[in-house]
A and B are shown apart, each in its own frame.
Chain A
Amino acid sequence: MANLIEIKGVTHAYKTPNGPLPVLDGLEIAVPEGEFAAVVGPSGCGKSTLTRLIAGLMKPDRGEVWLHGRLVKSPRKTVGMAFQNPVMLEWRTILQNVILPLEIVAPSMPRKDRIARAEELLALVGLGGFEDKRPSELSGGMRQRASLCRAIVHKPDVLIMDEPFGALDAFTREDLWQTMHELRAKEPFTAVLITHDLRESVYLGDQVFVLSGRPATTQYVLDVTYPGDGMRRLEGLYTPEAAAMLATLREQIQIAQGRHPGPAVH
């Protein structure tokens, strides 16, 4: 199967008053169509920068980002994005916030279809009944869930999520992992998920990319395999296979943080 997302030798530095700050250094990531890539790495290593590059919000200094076999030069309508700090438009209700992408991507879609679509997603993430609330009336975790709905409302074929479950309690988070799997089965998409939760990365990801410390390179790639792979279940996280994967990732993160002497594995 062809790679839907391809990041080839991407290098980027921010201009700061103290000179350039190199953030990414020759990053390589490839995600086949329909697969779910989890990305983990030390704090501040450039993960959010990576999401902005994939979305076409920024251009890399060097290297290329390809989506669907086309070089990314600017943002695309077929991308859905959930940002690390989910800003909601305060002057819109939650429902209107979720509908927003449809107004851009599908301007001719009838109003009642838009509303139905948004209501369906809000119910899916446990926000049924909050449609007409203002963002300021919701908790941080609820806003994050609404932002997730906004990212997928227009059925993007590429979904980029930057720590979308960061502000959630453990139970809601596990619920949403399950929801994510159901959603994928129903509306297939190719996803890049930034996370700092290793269990989340092996539960949702088909591959886990470990980035090194700043400037980030692709330090390690883990292929996630469960015994008798089918619909993934939370119990799967307690199998010896999962434990081994988590141990590998934990070790890699420590190397990335520079806490572990020893050769980096490529």
Chain B
Amino acid sequence: MDLLRKIGVPVAAILIFLGFWEFLVWVNGWPNYVMASPSDLPDAYIRFWNLFLTGSWQTLWRTVAGLGIAVVAGTLVGMVMGFSRIARDGLYPLLVGFNAVPKATLVPVLALLFIGQHNFNTVLMAFLISFFPIAVSVGIGLSTLEPEYRDILRSLGASRFTIFRKIALPKTLPEFFGALKVSVTLAFIGTNLVEIISPHGKGLGALFLSGQTNSNYPLMFAVLIALAVLGILLYYAVVALERIFAGWAERPQG
């Protein structure tokens, strides 16, 4: 019953959505080049399945690589901000300003800086766009740690590192995963941005672009759906990690 609700309800929601989409296209009599309908999609997947596979893989690994770097760098910067007031005051406006720059404007900048390094550029963009929430949440999580928590171990003469490992780090995990859920989506958007905008791109974004150049509209929609599926997979991978490492923070419902 529980399983049925957990899986059945979302599946039903997706089916209803697809049905509504199909219905809308049919009622309006939209031709393929205005709006493809779900029934056009299987054909696109069957014809280009190998492109979808390689494209998905390229998009996936570059997103995960960028996110991975963002996790490491964001955690380090967050730690510096969490432990030092001066660093916090100094870095915060810088980070906010950096985050406010529209990332699309960076694509040509990066492309010029690292000409032809397409993989590098893409990973870099995924990193840049997803780094901010992680750094901020770790920084805030650490700097707002109640002194009572620290004192438990400090009164035993534990080292700063031990206190960080046994208290500060686990205590900050729920905030960290909250940020990671935002960041994973952002990293994904960053990857696609570069894939679509930069010339000679790879991945699903490039497949989208080639659909556009060849006026293959069902292919473009098929890519969009594939992106959505990949995004969902990434998101729920983070949710699964959160369950494992910060499941204690989940309050029992009642």
Contact = CB atoms under 8 A, between A and B. Distances in A.
B155 A90 contact: no
B151 interface: yes
A101 B155 CA distance: 10
22 contacts: A56-B155, A57-B151, A57-B154, A75-B154, A76-B157, A83-B148, A83-B151, A87-B146, A87-B148, A87-B149, A89-B149, A89-B152, A89-B167, A89-B170, A90-B248, A91-B173, A91-B246, A100-B152, A104-B153, A104-B157, A104-B158, A136-B251
A79 B251 CA distance: 34
Contacts of A197: none
A96 to B, nearest CB: 11
B246 to A, nearest CB: 8
B162 interface: yes
Contacts of B170: 89, 91
B148 A77 contact: no
Contacts of A56: 155, 157
Interface string A78-90: 0101010101011
B152 A87 contact: yes
A249 B173 CA distance: 48
Q: Which 9 pairs between the two chains have the least Cβ-Cβ distance?
A: A91-B248, A75-B157, A81-B155, A87-B148, A55-B155, A104-B156, A104-B158, A91-B170, A75-B155
Interface of B: 146, 148-149, 151-158, 162, 166-167, 170-171, 173, 246, 248-249, 251
B148 A90 contact: no
Contacts of A89: 149, 152, 167, 170-171
Q: Which label, helix, strand, loop or mixed, suits the secondary structure of the A interface?
A: loop
B176 to A, nearest CB: 13
Contact of B148 (A55, A75, A85): A85
Contacts of A154: 156
A55 B171 CA distance: 24
A103 B155 contact: no
Contacts of A55: 155
A13 B87 CA distance: 28
Contacts of B249: 90-91
Interface in A28-71: 52, 55-57
A59 B222 CA distance: 67
B156 to A, nearest CB: 5
Nearest to B246: A91
A105 interface: yes
Contacts of B149: 87, 89
A79 B155 CA distance: 7
Contact of B166 (A74, A76, A103): A103
A52 B150 CA distance: 13
Given A79-B155, A87-B152, 15 more contacts: A75-B156, A77-B156, A79-B156, A81-B155, A83-B152, A87-B148, A89-B152, A91-B171, A91-B248, A100-B166, A101-B156, A104-B153, A104-B157, A104-B162, A154-B156
A87 B146 CA distance: 10
A134 interface: yes
A147 to B, nearest CB: 9
A131 B246 CA distance: 20
